[in-house]
Amino acid sequence: MHTIDYAYEISGEFLPIPYALPLWNTLCEAAPWLNEESRIGVLPLRGMVQHQRLWLAKRTKLVLRLPIHRQTSAQQLSGITLTTDGWSLELGPISPRPLIGYPSLHAFGVLGPADECAFMEGVRESLTAMGIVGQLICGQAQAGMANDHCQSYSLVIHHLNPEHSLQLQMEGLGSHQHLGYGLFVPYKAIPNLEG
């Protein structure tokens, strides 16, 4: 396996909405090597959205999906504080999380055309090109990348074999994975996603 997740404990109250690009830029200032890798993922942070802020839950982790050869570089980020535009985020102890071939995976957002049918057709074409077979369930649409012609959809893929599950987690789906899009994690039941 060439890819692994590194989960950092974090200390901080909130991040502004949208937070993904400012967070990425600040990470790159602290670790310029992130720009040297073609496949880097920053998994979406969990918390409560209120008043244009993402209020971080106490157990929220910052998870970077990185090539395994970057282990030493990833460990050196532990202990730094990211600061910009009135917010700060301290990165604490780091824990490696090997990817596991779960049969069902979920992405919080995959970028694609605003038309849902066109989006799903593009997903099927991408999976076919990757040689991956699975059952697709498209979830809620969200605005994506401040582009009227671009949408983000949550996506669940069931009935993956272990090899395809690992491949999908390592390669992701679509663009802007450094901003949290197209990254797959083990699926847990999400209210109303399949209803």
Kindly report, residue by residue over 68-114, the tens digit of the pLDDT: 999 999 999 999 999 987 899 999 999 999 999 999 999 999 999 98
Residues 77 and 53 both lie in one domain = yes
What's the whole-model pTM score? 0.90
The encoded tokens of residue 136 equal: 């697709």
Residues 173, 37: Cα–Cα separation, whole Å? 17
Backbone angles phi, psi at 50, to 5 degrees: -155, 130
Report if residue 193 sits inside a domain: no
Counting the structural domains of the chain, the total is 2
In a domain, 50, yes or no: yes
Residue 191, in any domain of the structure: no
Query: Residues in the chain, how many?
Result: 195
Identify which of 60, 48, 39, 57 has the alpha carbon closest to the alpha carbon of residue 17.
48
8 A C-beta contact, residue 144 and residue 173: no
Q: Which of 107, 99, 76 is nearest to 179 (CA)?
A: 107
